[in-house]
Amino acid sequence: MKTVITYGTFDLLHWGHIELLKRARALGDYLIVALSTDEFNRIKHKEAFHSYEHRKLILEAIRYVDKVIPEENWEQKVNDVEKYHVDIFVMGSDWEGEFDFLKGYCEVIYLSRTEGISTTQIKDDLK
């Protein structure tokens, strides 16, 4: 069994998120999403529209997602990979190279983002 993990805020869920989760899940048999907590988002100077608990509830309802865990800090990734026996770490290609330090622990794959949609775009359009 291959375990895949990805990280993110997953706020204002849209079809680009679903495509990313679908593609990540297709790389293995079990997909873990490490979801940024509200506290961690504040540290990153990000503000989510939905609370952590609501974003978690939404992600857990998606058929491609097998488990949702909290992302509480930047440093937890190595521990998560070891704890959950992760084979593949997946992030969007806009993070290319940022997580290469994990290559000693698992395979690292950067997936291209879905063109034509982003949470930032949605927030800007709503203003």
Task: State the pLDDT at residue 13.
Answer: 84
Q: Which residues lie closer than 8 Å to 38 by C-beta, 6 or more apart?
A: 48, 51, 52
Can 123 be counted among the known catalytic residues?
A: no
Residue range 40-80, pLDDT digits in tens: 999 999 888 899 999 999 999 999 999 999 999 999 999 99
> Is the whole model's pTM more than 0.85, yes or no?
yes
Distance, CA of 54 to CA of 97 (rounded, Å): 31
Residue 28, token pair as written in the block: 């293995």
Residue range 33-51, pLDDT digits in tens: 999 999 999 999 988 889 9
Can 2 be counted among the known catalytic residues?
A: no
H-type alpha helices, 74-115: 77-83
Query: For residue 62, which of 95, 97, 101, 33 has the smallest C-alpha distance?
Result: 33
Catalytically annotated residue among 22, 46, 83, 123: 46
